[in-house]
Amino acid sequence: MGWGSVRFSNCALNLSVNRIDVQCQAGTNLKKFREERGFSQEAFADLCGLHRTYISGIERGVRNPTVLIVEKIAKALKISAAELLQEIKASSKYE
């Protein structure tokens, strides 16, 4: 079984989600929500009990946080973990 597949019982489910895309989306969302709330990386990291460089790595898409870290970050932002991971659709007057 290769990357992008999950095995349930004897069935393989092919996942079309790219891990790097999810990491980048989570990082983009984290930065957006953090800045909207007026937190510096350092202040936000302190609030979460994490290191500033870890927050920076998530925002740049180079760190892959665990589910527990995603939940901790979401709680600090007062949003759901799903909101932190969701794709943000760009609003356009042409849509």
What pLDDT digit, counting tens, does each position of 30-49 carry? 999 999 999 999 999 999 99
Residue 92 belongs to a domain? no
Residue 89 pLDDT level (bands cut at 50, 70, 90): low
CATH code of the domain containing 69 = 1.10.260.40
Overall domain count for the chain: 1
pLDDT at 15 over 80: no
Residue 69 region by backbone torsions, left for phi larger than 0, else alpha for psi between -120 and 50, else beta: alpha
Give pTM, 2 decimals.
0.73
Helix axes 41-48, 67-77, angle to 10 degrees: 110
Domain of residue 37: give its range: 17-84
CA distance 87 to 95: 16
Question: Using an 8 Å Cβ cutoff, are 44 and 34 in contact?
Answer: yes
